[in-house]
Amino acid sequence: MTALAGPPPPLADRPQPGVRLRVVQMADAEALAALCRSNRAYLRPWEPERDDSYFTVDGQRDNLHSLVEAYATGEMWPGVILVDGELAGRISLNHILRGPLQTCFVGYWVARAHAGRGVATEALRQALDVAFDGLGLHRVEAFTRVDNLASQRVLERNGFTAVGTARRHIHVDGRWHDERFFERLAPWDDGITLTPPA
């Protein structure tokens, strides 16, 4: 099975216009620490285990330093999700591979206060613009736990296609979980061209 080429289908429930993305900044440490602390229990089933230091301002500074370095070398595009200018989550294009692959995988989370409002769907739509238009990637991949139906809907609304299941793929919430593997090809994909046409 392959991803749908071309733009995703139109959304009947078009999300609020106040959603936008930007690259993380070191100045985000305090706001991210507060957001991570307030959503710690909510995100626990889906996120890797974190030690207590991750939820502090210093822990977020350390994390942001690593993200900014990876961004500078082109290894990833680390973003924050803003709703009406306020931090509402994170979205990243991870493990960017060039050469004959031209691919990455996307990861995202949205704070509980914004869940179910189309924020993740719109954030992912914008991240795909970054991946395909800004970075010139050919493919974006994603994994979700098999029981994370909300995240699967976000992917499907953005034209991703389920490819299969990776058995015991991620260790979160105290054990190994199966994950569904999704893919999306660039709108400019023609089966031949390596990079977007000029």
How confident is the model over 140-154, as pLDDT tens digits? 999 999 999 999 999
Which of 158, 176, 175 lies closest to 14 in space, CA to CA? 158
- pLDDT recorded at residue 126: 98
**CA 78, CA 96: separation in Å to the nearest integer?**
11
> Measuring CA to CA, which residue among 190, 114, 108, 171 is closest to residue 142?
108
| C-alpha distance from residue 26 to each of 68, 75, 76 (Å) | 8, 18, 16
Per-residue pLDDT, 38: 97
Across the range 45-50, mean pLDDT stands at 91
Q: In the chain, pLDDT over 90 holds for what percent of residues?
A: 89
User: What's the pLDDT tens digit per position in 162-181?
Assistant: 999 999 999 999 999 999 99
Taking a C-beta distance cutoff of 8 angstroms, is the pair 182, 145 a contact?
no
CA nearest neighbour of 1 among 195, 157, 172, 156: 156
How many CB atoms within 10 Å of residue 83?
Answer: 21
How are strands ordered across the β-sheet holding 103-110? 19-23, 77-83, 86-97, 103-110, 139-145, 175-185, 161-172
DSSP structural state of residue 131? I
Per the CB < 8 A criterion, the answer to whether 106 and 78 are in contact is no
Q: State pTM to two decimals.
A: 0.90
Amino acid at 85: G
Mean pLDDT computed over 6-35: 77
Grade residue 3 by pLDDT with cuts at 50, 70 and 90: very low
